[in-house]
Chains A and B, each alone.
Chain A
């Protein structure tokens, strides 16, 4: 999957996450997570793992993924990352 443009999926609403993806000119998969400090401290590694695995399973190689989290669970991260990547690959 090739990222052709910037795209978003999700929302800045409780239990959701707004995922923005864009091409990464430096190459590779880069993840930026914005979330509450307590979640950042306790769960950022787990969340970044879920995002990375989802991106890799989608077959994408060079992408910048920004996730603005509002308390989303793993399944929501997976769904929103997939949707943003699909929209960016059109």
Chain B
């Protein structure tokens, strides 16, 4: 059975990153078409990720793709192009219920076109706004494709205009609510990434805090963080 302790986020427009990422053995490898890719490269990143999934040996990791939101104007094309290479899931930024319902329809059409069984690709909503945090219970029930969710504290901090700290006291309520709601729904919960990739002691403390709040795993922005995450989330 696949484990869900870590998700490593890699920009989708970097061949070097796409090739090196499996070396770190993350449980989930997130090929990012959203935040990690500048606007002018959205089209080429989408094609690179499609070709990489078909070419690379990603056997020991579960490949997921973080698409752009539908509101951005890029999300629908991301689904259309990536679906045929069948990632295990799409990560959905600003994963509110309305958008997830629209994506459900688009994805079902794309799966049919690609000859895939309906429902074969999962959805992982990113909770990064106050509204989605408060609507989480209903959000997780929008689609049977949802088996995991990802809490992005950086997005929430931006919306609230709060300054993030390594200790994370400012996101304690949000983290607790997120983790408990996922637990109640029987879903995997990925905690926000620890953004100082050179502070391993800080990362370990942050992992412990997240685990004690009920999270089942954590995101990483650097492959070197994976071993520490796996040490805490067993």
Distance (whole angstroms) from the CB of A8 to the closest CB of chain B:
9
Known: A14-B16, A15-B16, A15-B19. A75 touches B43 (CB 8 A): no
Note all chain B residues with C-beta closer than 8 A to A44: none
A74 contacts the other chain (CB 8 A): yes
In the assembly, what is the distance between CA of A76 and CA of B51, in Å? 7
Against B, the Cβ 8 Å flags (1 = close, 0 = not) of A70-85 are: 0011111011101100
* Contact for A72 among B15, B47, B54, CB less than 8 A: B15
User: Majority SS of interface residues in chain B?
Assistant: helix
Is B19 touching A73 in the complex (CB atoms < 8 A)?
Answer: yes
Is A83 touching B51 in the complex (CB atoms < 8 A)?
Answer: no
B56 contacts the other chain (CB 8 A): yes
In the assembly, what is the distance between CA of A80 and CA of B47, in Å? 8
* Contact for A16 among B15, B47, B55, CB less than 8 A: B15
A87 contacts the other chain (CB 8 A): yes
Is A75 touching B52 in the complex (CB atoms < 8 A)?
Answer: yes
Is B16 touching A13 in the complex (CB atoms < 8 A)?
Answer: yes
B66 contacts the other chain (CB 8 A): no
Is B15 touching A86 in the complex (CB atoms < 8 A)?
Answer: no
In the assembly, what is the distance between CA of A59 and CA of B88, in Å? 31
* Contact for A83 among B14, B47, B56, CB less than 8 A: B47
B50 contacts the other chain (CB 8 A): yes
Note all chain B residues with C-beta closer than 8 A to A78: 51
A10 contacts the other chain (CB 8 A): yes
Known: A16-B15, A16-B16, A73-B55. A79 touches B43 (CB 8 A): no
Residue of B nearest to A16 (CB): B15
B141 contacts the other chain (CB 8 A): no
A9 contacts the other chain (CB 8 A): yes
Note all chain A residues with C-beta closer than 8 A to B213: none
Against A, the Cβ 8 Å flags (1 = close, 0 = not) of B1-26 are: 00000000000001110010000000
Note all chain A residues with C-beta closer than 8 A to B16: 13-16
Against A, the Cβ 8 Å flags (1 = close, 0 = not) of B130-157 are: 0000000000000000000000000000
Residue of B nearest to A10 (CB): B44
B48 contacts the other chain (CB 8 A): yes
Distance (whole angstroms) from the CB of A89 to the closest CB of chain B:
12
Is A83 touching B55 in the complex (CB atoms < 8 A)?
Answer: no
Is A75 touching B51 in the complex (CB atoms < 8 A)?
Answer: yes
15 interchain pairs, CB-CB under 8 A: A13-B16, A15-B16, A16-B14, A16-B15, A73-B15, A73-B19, A73-B55, A74-B55, A75-B52, A75-B54, A76-B48, A78-B51, A79-B51, A82-B47, A83-B44
- Which residues on A are within 8 Å of B, measured CB to CB? 9-10, 13-16, 72-76, 78-80, 82-83, 86-87
Query: Across chains A and B, which 4 residue pairs bring their CB atoms closest together, nearest first?
Result: A75-B55, A83-B44, A75-B51, A15-B16
Given A72-B15, A82-B47; 9 other pairs, CB 8 A cutoff: A9-B44, A15-B15, A73-B19, A76-B15, A79-B50, A79-B52, A82-B51, A83-B48, A86-B43
